[in-house]
């Protein structure tokens, strides 16, 4: 994985005119913290869990990135994700470097009390790495506001002071920000509004793969905007209605039955079939590597908004570019979450908390400015990914030049 990142940096570095020494610095993480968390389970047995925190680059500010609880977490994965957070934070021009953390655990196998013990143990293991000016974690895969609350409480117990800005994605009552719960979807919506205007698509037809937080909230936003959402899916499958789905009813069905496939009045389809529907806007919002060289020729969408991380393989991306498809890359498309995390951090530091409309206004401005910057760096709309990468590397490079 790191070999791919280094190859990527060499390619983008040449394109951006960045010096070799900067590429060398960016090819390696600044700090990698590792620990083994030892937890007493509810039945009295003892289990251990590998844990990591990586601060990849902090030239532009303190490290920022989530903590994931997932059985497949590895040091290599966390390091790569910390690198991509460095890129993402630079794309939207917030004053952060990149960080990431994780524990190799299946949280679905843990009780609430075991999950709390694990969360607190994680903070104890890496407390020296964290701080409002050092490294600010957040939720990620299988972590949530409750876990952030436990981590905040543990950290404040250790440092013996209140420091709500140490972590973001917290409950509102502990200093969380309004809009954080829908920020990823809303940020993507603001960006794609601008893209659709540029490609002259006013009321697009939409297909959304993934109906978790990002996908479901995007579906609601699109429906409220008068766009026709004709297909959605979750891990169990998808539903399709060319006349448009009743998104509020889909949301109710998902909540009550556990899956969108139980929605009545639509044809069931597979996740793979959804990707090849004849729609204006395709929104992969689930897992990585779903658009590949095997299915890319069947993709008919005019615009793809990557709300998921890495849903398009490099090989497929090159083919989409040749086909003239506009791909809004993940480092821009799903950066609304970290942007509102930044707003949360600012509110914690100033003690001034913003109303919902103010957060939305600031997010809209930030995301639309980021899109404008990326577009200016791109040769054309089919090369937004290249433009985003160049822009990010240039911004990190500028910070490094001033420091050395």
DSSP string, 115-170: HHHHHHHHHHHHGGG-BTTTEE--B-TT--HHHHHHHHHHHHHHHTS--GGG--S-
DSSP strand E in 91-244: where? 97-104, 135-136, 205-209, 228-234, 237-240
Per the CB < 8 A criterion, the answer to whether 192 and 214 are in contact is no
> How many whole angstroms separate alpha carbon 172 and alpha carbon 179?
10
Per the CB < 8 A criterion, the answer to whether 211 and 260 are in contact is yes
Query: Residue 375 is inside which H or E element, if any?
Result: helix 356-377
DSSP 164: G
Task: Classify residue 355 as exposed, middle or buried by CB count within 10 Å of its CB (0-12, 13-18, 19+).
Answer: exposed
Q: Looking at 32-134, list the stretches that DSSP marks H as alpha helix, in order from N- to C-terminal side.
A: 75-91, 112-126
Angle at 391 between CA 389 and CA 392, to 5 degrees: 65
Q: Which one of the listed residues 100, 228, 360, 394 is annotated catalytic?
A: 100
Per the CB < 8 A criterion, the answer to whether 233 and 271 are in contact is yes
Residue in this structure with the two tokens 């000016």, named with its chain if needed = 133
Helix pair angle (356-377, 183-198), 10° resolution? 50
Structure tokens at 212: 């978790």
CA within 13 Å, CB half, 239? 22
Active site residue 368: no
Which of helix, strand or coil describes residue 245? coil
Structure tokens at 403: 């420091």
3-state helix, strand, coil in the chain (%, to 5): 50, 20, 30
Active site residues per annotation: 100
């Amino acid at each position: 994985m790191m070999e791919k990142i280094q190859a990527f940096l060499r390619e983008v570095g040449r394109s951006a005119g960045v010096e070799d020494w900067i590429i060398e610095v960016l090819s390696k993480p600044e700090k990698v913290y590792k620990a083994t968390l030892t937890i007493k389970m509810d039945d009295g047995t003892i289990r251990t869990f590998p844990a990591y925190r990586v601060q990849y680059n902090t030239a532009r500010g303190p490290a920022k990135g989530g903590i994931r609880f997932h059985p497949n977490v590895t040091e290599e994965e966390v390091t790569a994700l910390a690198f991509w957070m460095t890129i993402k934070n630079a794309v939207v021009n917030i004053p952060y470097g990149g960080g990431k953390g994780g524990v190799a655990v299946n949280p679905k196998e843990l009780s609430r009390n075991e999950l709390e013990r694990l969360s607190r143990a994680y903070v104890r293991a890496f407390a020296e790495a964290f701080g409002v000016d050092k490294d600010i974690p957040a939720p990620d895969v299988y972590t949530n506001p409750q876990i952030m609350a436990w981590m905040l409480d543990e950290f404040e117990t250790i440092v013996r002071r209140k420091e709500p800005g140490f972590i973001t994605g917290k409950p509102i009552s502990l200093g969380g920000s309004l809009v954080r719960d829908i920020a990823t979807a809303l940020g993507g919506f603001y960006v794609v509004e601008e893209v659709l205007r540029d490609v002259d698509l006013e009321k697009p037809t939409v297909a959304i793969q993934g109906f978790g937080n990002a996908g479901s909230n995007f579906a609601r936003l699109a429906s409220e905007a008068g766009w026709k959402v004709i297909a959605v899916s979750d891990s169990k499958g998808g539903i399709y209605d060319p006349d448009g789905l009743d998104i509020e009813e889909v949301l109710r069905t998902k909540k009550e039955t556990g899956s969108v496939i139980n929605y009545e009045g639509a044809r069931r389809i597979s996740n793979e079939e959804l990707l090849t529907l004849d729609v204006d806007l395709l929104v992969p919002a689930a897992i990585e590597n779903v658009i590949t060289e095997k299915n890319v020729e069947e993709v008919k969408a005019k615009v793809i908004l990557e709300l998921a991380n890495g849903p398009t393989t490099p090989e497929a991306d090159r083919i989409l570019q040749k086909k003239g498809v506009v791909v809004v890359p993940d480092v821009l498309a799903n950066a609304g979450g970290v942007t509102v995390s930044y707003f949360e951090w600012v509110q914690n530091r100033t003690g001034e908390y913003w109303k919902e409309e103010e957060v939305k206004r600031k997010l809209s401005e930030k995301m639309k400015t980021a899109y404008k910057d990326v577009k200016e760096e791109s040769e054309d709309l089919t090369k937004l990914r290249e433009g985003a990468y160049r822009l990010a590397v240039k911004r990190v490079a500028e910070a490094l030049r001033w420091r050395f």
